[in-house]
Chains A and B, each alone.
Chain A
């Protein structure tokens, strides 16, 4: 009784758990219930129930309402899909002039707009791509195919790889000094020599369009939200959902709107990359000290100058993190959008993974990661650059970089010309090393994988079986055994205990949406995989983070490792795990664990670092041991920040679980992947995406509310 009086919350939580388990035991599994494996909704099974809403017929297996709620929202995907098609094909037909056929054509408005948009994107991508690789499209865009036929000389020649590599090294030198230059030169040379030049440049051209556009849009929307409360209020829910929406899910509706290809990929990438940019811009602008703004005003800034010369540069740190995020998302999408026909490394990577050619996949993945790290470091160096006003330089010193580039240009062209004579009839290796004609280490890796399999097969297999049979299957069965009503009671109860009635209502709404969709079972599987991943990640991340924090050098080292790992596109993580564990749930889960451990570790370290040094000293002077200090001072104070890490860990885990569908899982991701190849998949894909986003948001809401309260209680910021 003493304990209950001391910790009233504890009693409430206990009560909630008792109610939850009571419900679980009280409601039996219906005899007819089984986990639906196939796409049963397309089979007319006489056992199914139906209802009609808004003219859409929804078929489903009915159970006791306490066990599983009926899919009352089952019409939503169909409705979304039909609306999209109506919008694209029938709404507002208008007359448009067609350049190619030289006549007016009737086209629906939305279709015309999206086609114009995609044409513009295509032009941008092709322009950069042809500067790097050569081609016709850009010139065609200004003239016509007839003109090209008449003038066969008119073709962008493309740059020899030597020039691009040296050029990027010079740019890196100008931005970040010698170290970065060496890295840039080596990375580019590696890409070329190992025969990945063409796909790499395709990917690069895609990113050089997508990243700046996302940055500009994100920044402007962020500014708009900063200036106007109304814009912010309108954007906020979208931003929230987009943050936890798996990138896969956006592919499907975009497929309908923008078609297939690089241009669609750019637009999707923007949809995914802009929200974090907006959020971070807003965050940064908010954090600018009021006196700095006043100083700007007193210097006589007008609104424009105040924004671009005072506010944005002062908020630079957060905005840079935004840029970093944009680049990360772009590379991630460069791979994922290969599903809808974007060319480049991502496409090769997917192809190789599909063929289980781990070696090839590894090479492509390495190239993507190299370019990602390079661009990330260069953008950072660019933002930190300093101007030298006082250097008394002559013309050559001032323009040495441009002059040097000019020289490289000449040498590169000369080399390429020399190569065209030397390698007569064959491939001109000094111009471009053709794909798969470079050095390839694929065989080596494949043999390595085979060797690993031959040598360790027994152990891996044993581990795999043990994990699946002893841990994963029971856990999955437990999750599926939860009656819907019990789950809802648990989640809503938690919401009420943490954040009061408001939080409870929000969480209830989010859960109900999933429960009323046709995919509750799948959502449970997704949650189980994510939970498993998160628990293991947190244990690893908190431990590693705490250990690394004991020493200044290891702290710095670990943060750098996190930085680099975070730059890898998420898909790349699938390569090594497939290498080791083949195509099983274990692979997915290990990828999830590796990927989600990054934020767990990072936030642990940052949380511990944020503990004021005064407290640290005060504790030391009270004569605590290292362990006492850690457990009595540092952990309690760092805990709120670490919980934010948990939040990120959950989001990362969910993303990876969904991407894991590529290997083959039985959760929401699998359906999203299916929707990609389904003509009517747009609505399904989007609804599934929202379901996943809502799972993330439920945890997000609970954790954030708790953290805010806790921070207020502790008096931190």
Chain B
């Protein structure tokens, strides 16, 4: 039954993506949906680390940035094909995650938060100050569009399908990991690291592995972002961006794959809708996030499911 429900959800998701992709002609809406897709990837990547394994990262935008900058530098400065830059971008983020993860993931709780925060800041400063390579504070211009063989992703519609295809694959991959032996071990680390170790889970190794996976997914999002906008600047990958990813995970629902999608959607759409409030935009934005956390403390996904059950219960009586 569980498997069937999953299949229906996947089917709905795929059909929704296809219908939206074909029917929408408005560039603005397509762009918005592409951004939701990229943010979903980011939220999904952090959710594996934070929601499932229980390890907080306040520097996740750094991996997003590494993915974007590596492909920008390779494709523009060195004229590498974008498709060849992809493994380099993702690989670079994985190597950095591995090197940083081994000492940092020994920390836990607030201290891990602090450690990753510091890491994020260092990478952000690197993007901003290493002007000869990264273009510095004014950004990196002239990134070419993404070409894969004969396919050129230079229209919004084609990019929409590309990004959501990657999102779908990532969701399937995460789902499979979570339902596997390794996924159970990840959740056990979240509940009790010592207990997990006592039953034979190599907690240190597993934490670094999930950190590396998470960095790879974030770098993938960064790669897609760079070839979408053709221009990147350090501000996109700063501390606030890291916090936004954390917020998406928490608002959407920790340890929930679809929660990443809901959280990313809400946080991408809210600022657009709230333009109407002009100078009060940020106030309303903050109030909405606060209300979600007060009334749906377990995030949108669990919250909506709980409300549904409560509703059904009250009707059964």
B partners with A:
no
